[in-house]
Amino acid sequence: MFVLALRSIRQRPGRFLATLLSAFLGAAIIMTFNSMHDTAGQPGVDPVSSDTLGTAAGVVGGYGTLLVFFAVASTLTVNVRQRAAELELLRCSGATPAQIKRMVVGEAVAVALVGAALAIGPAMLGGRVLLDMFQDGGQVARSVEYSFGPIALVSGVNITLLAAAGAAFLAVRRVTRRRKERAGARRFLAYGALAAGATGVCSTFLFSATDEMLMAPPAQGAIMLSVGFALLAPRLLKGLLDRLVLSGASGWLAVRNLRQRAGELAGILVSLIMFTAVSTATLTMQAVESDAVAASGLVKSVDAKNLETLNLTVVGIIAVFVCVMLVNSLYAATTYRSREFGQQRLAGATPRQVLGVVGAEGAILTVAGVFFGTMAALAGVVPFTVVRTDGVLPDQFLGTWLAMVSVTAAATLGTSLVTARRVLRTPAVRAVAPAA
Amino acid sequence: MFRNGARRDHDSGPAPEALRLVKVTKSYGTADSAVTALDGVTLGLARGTFTAVMGPSGSGKSTLLQCAAGLDRPDSGIVRVDGTELTGGGEAELTKFRRGRIGFVFQQYNLLETLTVAQNTVLPLKLAGRRVDRRRAREILTAVGLGDRLGHRPDQLSGGQRQRVAIARALVTEPRVIFADEPTGALDTRSAREVLRLLQEAVRVHGRTVVMVTHDPVAASYADSVLFLADGRLAGRMDAPTADAVAERLAHLGDDTMAGV
């Protein structure tokens, strides 16, 4: 089966591009930060430098592992779903479910291996830049030399491979098995996350303005709230759509499409909500904190600086990954609709009307995602600002928010419209023809 | 963009000839590997007729339908629907040309899964920006036997029921010509009979013109006349066809190739 897997990759390298990209980015990030362990482990590194490097590697390394897992799982789920016909054919030709599983996992591992190998060079460069950043900030002594050693290499390759194999296993299981809706468990988790988020946000008020840990509860609270909203996304979207009336044939069709496909689109909404919430909340709070420190005339401690670097790095990583997932799943979802677009065109829709439908759907999704993401972000930002400064809503919020919303809107609308345009190049009659 | 025939300048009613093809040629592929799907086809169909187009696989049936219905452009020749000539232009222009003039019924139904029966039926009106007369849509759906299925989605219907929705959708815009591409190809014999009767009714009761591509002699026997196609050329015509006569003729198609009709 592994030979079949390799052949399958060679025939259609394009389909694995998203998986390769996720594996590459993930491996690069993990190796970059874990090379700090290697650097800190060298003889003659002072304890403060070693501490800074160790913390950075630990925190971001952990986040990185989770993100690789989610990103690879997301791209592979899409990949496997697109190939449902091929997998069905294999099953009809006598492949057992275990063989199909081995093939998909084999493909994923092969792609992840290539991704990890490609990531070594960029990770070495990235690690050097990161060390420079720490040294420029005075968090690490100038004398420390960069080292890319066994910890970075082994952890990077292993984590990427394990994440890819695990994600592939879950993806293929989800497709080969008829999924049972477990709405109850989902709702329980959602309310749990919302409760945890609310607790986190409220506990901000227990801290005083100068506490080092002040940023942690509202940031985590905002993240938990966004997870809760994300889990409830399909129901929230349905509730919104039942009240929404759009004029014009395209809008009419878009609302009806979304109502029917709310469940499938939940994944995209999850990305939108979490991206908006995490990035807006963290960046705004960091800006408020930096300004407050500057205003008080104090010099930032090494810990505070580390926290800032980490905050920005983590947000950057999350943003890049969520963008990759968003673009990938939107691209796949739109490509998959070729037949539906063909049917719309045969029913009398001009290409512009089809694009109008896609655009309206993207706009509704973006607005819904941004709305719930903003709610979660505000829930974190406002308590933090109230405790840290005298204001309620910081000046930095609007700018950060606008920047994040533009990124979100550009990624969502750009991907779906550009993909739909490409899909529309196939003549309508051929698009609706049953796959040969 | 679209040139009106001379007659239409004086009379805004439907033209007596619903469909006219003059020396229509279409080939696929390039240079050496080009395949001629239509080789100078000329034909005319009067308003209010039910015509079946028959021929073996690869005879150019589907290409003929696509060129005549404005889904594809012929390489050369003239296509005139309801007296208006179909000329160049992009997909948007072709779509606007088809709206209101042409209705479709396909083998694979091509209903939108996300819309209900009633919504699918009025979709062409919505897209054309025309007034949606829900009562009329319900009347048509009742006439095709789906008056109690308005809120169902396509995946809750049988193949025959889906095809009847497709026929209702084709009727609702009151097109001059309805093109049906193997409309009974995926149906059992009973559902197929119902669908063919509805197409007959569209002609006899509603005065539409129906062109149906099929390879089933029984389906063809429901039409007023049958046009035979072989190797991209017209190869004969039969009026008042019976299934046996059509099958007999099909078996000997290509023995004697006739030009024009």
Judged by CB atoms within 8 Å, which residues 352-391 of A form the interface with B?
352-353
| More confident: B192 or B5 | B192
Confidence band of B117 (pLDDT split at 50, 70, 90):
very high
How much is the pLDDT for A435? 54
Ranges in chain A, pLDDT < 50: 436
Residue A183 tokens, joined? 């709405």
A-B contacts at Cβ under 8 angstroms: 69
Comparing CB atoms, the residue among B72, B123, B153 nearest residue A347 is B123
Task: Give CA B227 to chain center in angstroms.
Answer: 14
Instruction: Please say if the pLDDT value at position B257 is more than 70.
Output: no
Region for A271 from its dihedrals, namely left if φ exceeds 0, alpha if ψ lies in -120 to 50, beta otherwise: alpha
Task: Tell the residue number behind the tokens 């029921």, with chain if given.
Answer: B161
Which pLDDT value is given to residue B7?
Answer: 39
- Nearest alpha carbon to residue B220 among B207, B238, B206: B238
Instruction: Give the model's pLDDT for residue A346.
Output: 92
Min CA distance, B256 vs chain A (Å)?
32
Res. B3: pLDDT tops 60: no
More confident residue, A142 or B223: B223
Per-residue confidence (pLDDT) for residue B181, from 0 to 100: 92
Q: Is A349 on the interface with B (CB under 8 A)?
A: yes
Give chain A positions within 8 Å (CB) of B66: 429
Overall average pLDDT of the B81-98 stretch: 86
Question: Average per-residue pLDDT in chain B?
Answer: 87
Greater confidence, A41 or B23? B23
Q: Within 13 Å of residue A80, how many CA atoms lie on the same side as its CB?
A: 26
Residue range B179-197: mean pLDDT, rounded:
92
Quote the minimal CA–CA distance from A100 to chain B in Å. Answer: 29
User: Chain A partners of B129 at a C-beta cutoff of 8 Å?
Assistant: 249
Residue owning tokens 């429901």 = B222
Distance, CA of A255 to CA of A140 (rounded, Å): 55
Mutate to test the interface with A, among B62, B97, B114 (most CBs of A within 10 A): B114
Looking up tokens 């009347």, which residue turns up?
Answer: B139
DSSP H helix total and E strand total for chain A: 15, 0
Is the complex ipTM more than 0.90?
Answer: no
Where is pLDDT greater, at A316 or B255? A316
- CB proximity A429 to B under 8 Å: yes
Q: What are phi and psi of B24, to 5 degrees?
A: -80, 125
And the tokens for A421? Answer: 């345009």
CA-based nearest residue in chain A for residue B97: A348
| Structural domains of chain B sorted by starting position, each given as residue range(s) with its CATH number in brackets | 48-69+87-251 (3.40.50.300)
Structure confidence by residue, pLDDT tens digits, B27-85: 988 777 788 889 999 999 999 999 999 988 888 898 999 999 988 888 999 999 988 88
Range list of H helices, A83-182: 84-92, 97-136, 150-176
Q: A345 and chain B: CB distance < 8 Å anywhere?
A: yes
Distances (CA, A) of B222 to B31, B33, B49, B78, B242: 41, 38, 11, 28, 8
Collect all residues of chain B within an 8 Å Cβ-Cβ radius of residue A259: 114
The pLDDT confidence band at residue B105, using thresholds 50, 70 and 90, is very high
Q: Which of A260, A351, A432 sits opposite B91 (nearest CB)?
A: A351
B188 CB-contact burial (10 Å; exposed 0-12 / middle 13-18 / buried 19+):
exposed
Kindly list the residues from chain A whose CB atom is less than 8 angstroms away from the CB atom of residue B173: 348
Judged by CB atoms closer than 8 Å, whether chains meet at B104 and A346 is answered as yes
- Contact A346/A354 with Cβ under 8 angstroms? no
